[in-house]
Amino acid sequence: MEVLLYTILTLCVLGVLAAVILYFVAQKFRVEEDPRIDEVEKMLPGANCGGCGFAGCRGMADALVKRDDISELFCPVGGSDCMKAIAGYLGKAAAEKQPEVATVRCGGTCEKRPRTNEYNGARSCAVAASLYVGETGCAFGCLGFGDCVAACAFDAIHMNPATGLPEVDPDKCTACGACVKACPKMVIELRKKWPKNRAVYVSCVSKDKGAVVMKACKAGCIGCGKCEKVCAFGAITVTNNLAYIDPQKCKLCRKCVNECPTGAIKLVGMDPLPKEPKAPAAPKTAPAAAKEAAKEAPKAAPAEKSAKEVQKTAPAAAKEAPKAAPAEKPAKEAQKAAPQEPSHES
Amino acid sequence: MANKLIVAPAPHVQTSQSTARIMRDVVIALMPALVVSTIVFGVDVLRVTALSVAACVVFEFLIQKYVVRGPLTISNWSAVVTGVLLAFNLPASIPWWIVLIGAFVAIAIAKMTFGGLGKNPFNPALVGRVFLLIAYPVQMTTWPMPVNGGAFDALSGATPLAAVKHGLASPDALGVQDLLLGNMPGSMGEVAALALLVGFVYLLWRRVITWHIPVTILVTMALFAFVVALCKGESGALLWQLPLFHVLAGGAILGSVFMATDYSTSPMTVKGGVIFAVGIGVITMLIRLWGAYPEGMSFAILLMNACVPLINKYVKPKRFGVK
Amino acid sequence: MKTFPMGGVHPSENKLSSAKAIEVLPLPEVVNIPLAQHIGAPAVAKVAKGDKVLTGQLIAEAGSFMSANIHSPISGTVTAVDQVANGQGLRQMMITIKREGDEWAEGIDRSQTLVKECNLSAQEIIARIKAAGIVGMGGATFPTHVKLSIPAGKKAECVIINGVECEPYLTSDHRMMLEHGEELVVGVTILMKAVGVEKAYIGIENNKPDAIAHLQKIVASYPGIEVVPLKVRYPQGGEKQLIAAVTGRQVPPPPALPIDVGAVVCNASTTYAVYQAVQKGMPLIQRVVTITGKSIREPKNLLTRMGTPVSALIAAAGGLPENTGKVINGGPMMGRAMVNLESPVTKGCSGITVLSEHDARRHVASQCIKCAKCVAACPMGLEPYYLSKMTQKKNWDEVEARMITSCIECGCCQSTCPAYLPLLDWVRLGKQTVMGRIRARAAAAAPKK
């Protein structure tokens, strides 16, 4: 009985002693922190993806509270809504950005871009890129070892084994930019996110000359400049043998898509314009409307009309109408003419 | 040329000493001790060893296939090594079901829960052994006599270490010859000092291990025993007999050559290995001389295993060009 | 027997061509001369399409101090100065020359007569070496004139000639030492004069007893030069390892250089090139290249003009075998696997090693068993297993603290790993990243000063 008593007493004394020590230690090492940091952290998405440039949401919250000017800070995951809410809470002015989505700009599938050698080193794009050209003859395109997949914290990018290229799930992608940073070839770009995940972009980053590109890949941009000429909005520029569509200027008119001789310009979420506008007869599969469209299509359609149509297709387009769009066909008619199922090229 | 050129970063040569070959070499190095043990204790030794190996391999296979669902690695022979080492730490008369429990603890708890080969912080065979020693102390310390009697039969089933500990015999009662040839009661694999040393030489020759850890452990133990003998005021033959006895008896050689050198549970640097080995030697001798158990090798190795991450963190290799 | 203090491995030597005398490869019809075949700034082309050039004529000038001149290896017409794919398939600027005969530029003595006397000053010697475009021919391609220009405040104490050739298969330096020993030793005296020292060592591994004996006989009549036989151990030919093996001094970690311990190291072939440049006016337009491999019908040592396509060397050795898996520019420990066999031989190309598919393919990697063999094998005293793991986790501060920048990329760790892990693949990436971070930090700190 005595033993039991002593045991219990000893334990109690030890417990109280430990509590006292812990209390004083906690007092001594307490860190005074702005309670708003906790609140802001709760308002952030909590993905800790690093897309804002900080190691995690806590760091971002800390910066948001402490800095007077937070216009430089932006959480790509939460987007403008999240930033607005936080700015409202803190009484500061928030940055506003349009939604973006990661876009893989390489069309060099296994079929289009034959493998010329076999890589046998560590499965990492960064390792392979520092060693040599890659498994294909293209020194610019996707290496296919999936550094972007490993970098994604949102399970939004996956390798397609059939093509050997990564594919972005636009609904999951938060545009945090982790894959952009992970890609040693700088194939991935954050581009403006259109409604219904529509997109038109040059799916190639090769700066090689046309002949070299053709040899390595059947789907590469050869820098011929046809798209640049056809673009009514000055959105396309060709530099270093490579066409680039400025997402801020592009209105998704899709004219460039048909011009591209190698199919390097990708169209997502929309039907292409019918091909061969100059041909008198429409394709057999097209409905009667297409024939009408083809007949009606004058060689120099009024610019206003085409611009109007374009604006319908792209509601977010800039208000300023193009001054001299050499449109050959009204977009609306074209949409009717085209097959109805959406294209899934990527 | 029909095939595509293969491209990889340098170097373009790889050693032929694969993980599987290393593990196979360890098994080969344990074979002389198995043979001697079979001669000393009879075919029971083979039965227990076979059961232990089979159980370890099967447990590893089942866990990888149905629990972890990762790649199968039983072909790398590491489960076989664990099986043999576990068996070597058991008495030959152990019941079969205890062997199974030991194998399960070794593989399922000590190895696979940590991620398998290379990630386990404690030596699996020793965890199995210590678990059994605590859970089944009677069966684990009932030692069969050598089949041909042996020089030690007056002690009826006590190991030399236990006999000396409990004052039943003095360290010089047992001849060096008997200690070397294993003619005494004890765990299956630990009695044959000479056969284990043959295995040690084989491992050194095959470059599986380096000499640092085993030699440091044994030297530490011998020095410790020597100092103790000096302090006790011993003189003459006992001064060297006590160190020799402690090095040859019990699990000192089995532990230092085969258990303490286990890759994933020993430090990554030579300097760290020496610290680790000195720790094992000292703790073993503390337990042997003043602890509750007659043998302390298993506990010493496990305790030092726990220190390995710390040693790896603070003991860095000597860098080239840094004074 | 002397050797370096820590780590190292001993891979199968496979010196298949060590008994093959140097042969002259027939002149190529077309050569491609990269403007960047050395460490530092690329050279600047001095010729344009359509220009006629002579053998030995300057066609590209050093782009900065840390750069090297380039001379035409053949005579003919420049057909292009454009991007051409190199051995790794990456496009870089090259001068393409179509051969017409073999007319040499003036002032080059092509005779075999030995010229021992050299009455030039140190500055004149370095100027001639710079003019001849000589770079380290062991593979690092460090411009030799930069190495010989001792920075103010530092003092050279000895010249060390690297005749180690620790890479398996390669024998070009070995044959060079045997067949041009006299010239090489005169080259050593020139180097000693250039850096102002009285002492030189020629380090040779013990697996070349004929070269050791031959050079020992020659240096007997040259005061201050000593042949040092070394224990066979890779990477003894690494600059820091060789200095440690010969002098016992260890070069401190980067950014320290060999000159900080008073040593100037020069490869054996480079030393011969120095002799040729200073005594004969011969620019660096050709070198001995070993073409080797177990499957190669006739392993050879070929005196090759720069810019010759690698395929021409393979053809001269009996053609590419059917079972070829890998063609390596260099030896199997540090050489670079090639994808483009039409790429040219450059100043740093000491050999072409062909491996069969069976030898070339890596074993399947399993998990690390913490055997510590990589730690024991590292000649720089690093922890490759840890650096590799931390690089994969992108923990750059940690790998920098664990001295990843000391890595010499010798490959001992990876070649000795029983789990066949791609240790060096990762460590190299980590090293590159950390060096980039160090440079960025320096750049950020610079304007403040």
pLDDT above 70 covers a percentage of chain C that reads: 100
Q: Does A130 touch chain C (CB under 8 A)?
A: yes
**Residue B156: per-residue pLDDT:** 55
How do residues C385-406 score in pLDDT, each as one tens digit?
A: 999 999 999 999 999 999 999 9
Checking if the pLDDT of B179 tops 80, the result is no
Flag if B11 and C370 touch (Cβ within 8 Å).
no
According to DSSP, the β-strands at C76-85 and A165-168 are unpaired
**Residue A304: per-residue pLDDT:** 46
Q: From its phi and psi, is residue A155 left (phi > 0), alpha (psi between -120 and 50) or beta?
A: left
Confidence grade of residue A307 (pLDDT, cut at 50, 70, 90): very low
Q: How far is CA A250 from the centre of its chain?
A: 15
**Residue C263: per-residue pLDDT:** 95
Q: Does A116 touch chain B (CB under 8 A)?
A: yes
Q: Does B9 touch chain C (CB under 8 A)?
A: yes
| Chain C residue closest in CA terms to B322 | C252
Flag if B9 and A122 touch (Cβ within 8 Å).
yes
Q: What is the 3-state secondary structure (H, E, C) of A169-215?
A: CCCCCCCCCHHHHHCCCCCEEEEECCHHHCEEEECCCCCCCHHHHHH
Q: Does C93 touch chain A (CB under 8 A)?
A: no
Q: Which of B4, B8, B9 sits opposite A115 (nearest CB)?
A: B4
How do residues C104-138 score in pLDDT, each as one tens digit?
A: 999 999 998 999 989 999 999 999 999 999 999 98
Residues of B in contact with C419 (CB under 8 A): 18-19, 118
**Residue A327: per-residue pLDDT:** 42
Neighbours of C182 (CB within 10 A): 14
Residues of B in contact with A121 (CB under 8 A): 7-9
Flag if B6 and A120 touch (Cβ within 8 Å).
yes
Flag if C385 and B268 touch (Cβ within 8 Å).
yes
Q: Does C430 touch chain A (CB under 8 A)?
A: no
Size of interface A-C (CB pairs under 8 A): 46
Q: Where are the alpha helices (DSSP H) in chain A?
A: 2-28, 35-43, 57-66, 79-90, 125-131, 147-151, 178-182, 210-216, 226-230, 255-259, 288-296, 303-313, 331-337
Q: Are residues B216 and B278 in contact, defined by beta-carbon separation less than 8 angstroms?
A: yes
Flag if C339 and B7 touch (Cβ within 8 Å).
yes
Q: Does A286 touch chain B (CB under 8 A)?
A: no
Place of tokens 């593990």: B23
Flag if A131 and B5 touch (Cβ within 8 Å).
no
Flag if C89 and A208 touch (Cβ within 8 Å).
no
Flag if C240 and B17 touch (Cβ within 8 Å).
no
Q: Nearest CA of chain B to the CA of C352: how many Å? A: 13
Checking if the pLDDT of A200 tops 50, the result is yes
Place of tokens 């498994």: A135
Element (H, E) at A103: strand A100-104
* pTM of this structure: 0.87
Sequential DSSP letters for B37-81: HHHHH-THHHHHHHHHHHHHHHHHHHIIIIII-----GGGSHHHH
Confidence grade of residue A317 (pLDDT, cut at 50, 70, 90): very low
What's the whole-number mean pLDDT along residues A135-158? Answer: 93
Q: Where are the alpha helices (DSSP H) in chain B?
A: 19-41, 44-62, 78-88, 96-104, 124-135, 137-140, 160-165, 176-181, 193-205, 212-231, 237-248, 252-254, 270-290, 297-314
CA-based nearest residue to C70, from C35, C104, C39, C41: C35
Q: Is the peptide bond before A277 cis (omega within 30 degrees of 0)?
A: no
Start-to-end CA distance of chain C, whole Å, equals 50
Flag if B10 and C334 touch (Cβ within 8 Å).
yes
Chains that touch C (3 or more CB pairs under 8 A): A, B
Checking if the pLDDT of A78 tops 70, the result is yes
**Residue C114: per-residue pLDDT:** 92
Beta bridge partners of A54: none
How do residues A227-245 score in pLDDT, each as one tens digit?
A: 999 999 999 999 999 999 9
What's the whole-number mean pLDDT along residues C142-166? Answer: 94
Q: Are residues C265 and C170 in contact, defined by beta-carbon separation less than 8 angstroms?
A: no
Chains that touch A (3 or more CB pairs under 8 A): B, C
According to DSSP, the β-strands at C158-163 and C263-267 are parallel
Q: Does B3 touch chain C (CB under 8 A)?
A: yes
Residue C401, classed as helix, strand or coil, is: helix
Using the CB atoms, write b or e for A263-278: b if 16+ within 10 Å.
Answer: bbbbbbbbbbbbeebe
Q: Does B231 touch chain A (CB under 8 A)?
A: no
**Residue A93: per-residue pLDDT:** 84
| Chain B residue closest in CA terms to C167 | B11
Neighbours of A228 (CB within 10 A): 18
Name the token pair of C286: 């050709």
Residues of C in contact with A133 (CB under 8 A): 85, 88-90, 339
Checking if the pLDDT of A61 tops 80, the result is yes
Q: Nearest CA of chain C to the CA of A236: how many Å? A: 26
Residue A160, classed as helix, strand or coil, is: strand
Q: Which of C379, C380, C428 sits opposite B9 (nearest CB)?
A: C428
Q: Does C378 touch chain B (CB under 8 A)?
A: yes
Q: What is the 3-state secondary structure (H, E, C) of C227-277?
A: EEEECCCECCCCHHHHHHHHHCCCCCCCCCCHHHHCEEEEEHHHHHHHHHH
Residue of A125, A131, A143, A212 to mutate, interface with C, max C Cβ within 10 Å: A131
Chains that touch B (3 or more CB pairs under 8 A): A, C
**Residue A70: per-residue pLDDT:** 86
Confidence grade of residue A74 (pLDDT, cut at 50, 70, 90): confident
Q: Are residues A124 and A147 in contact, defined by beta-carbon separation less than 8 angstroms?
A: yes
Q: Nearest CA of chain B to the CA of C77: how many Å? A: 33
How do residues C328-374 score in pLDDT, each as one tens digit?
A: 999 999 999 999 999 999 999 999 999 999 999 999 999 999 999 99
Confidence grade of residue A126 (pLDDT, cut at 50, 70, 90): very high
For chain C, give the mean pLDDT: 94
Q: Does A214 touch chain B (CB under 8 A)?
A: no
Q: Does A6 touch chain C (CB under 8 A)?
A: no
Residues of C in contact with A139 (CB under 8 A): 89-91
What's the whole-number mean pLDDT along residues C147-165? Answer: 94
Start-to-end CA distance of chain B, whole Å, equals 53
CA-based nearest residue to B59, from B96, B20, B108: B108
pLDDT above 90 covers a percentage of chain B that reads: 66
Using the CB atoms, write b or e for A91-113: b if 16+ within 10 Å.
Answer: ebebeeeebbbbbbbbbbbbebb
CA-based nearest residue to C364, from B7, B115, B19: B19
ipTM of the complex: 0.91
Q: Does A121 touch chain B (CB under 8 A)?
A: yes
Q: Does C243 touch chain B (CB under 8 A)?
A: no
Confidence grade of residue A328 (pLDDT, cut at 50, 70, 90): very low
State the virtual CA torsion across C377, C382, C388, C393 in degrees, nearest 10. 160
**Residue B173: per-residue pLDDT:** 66
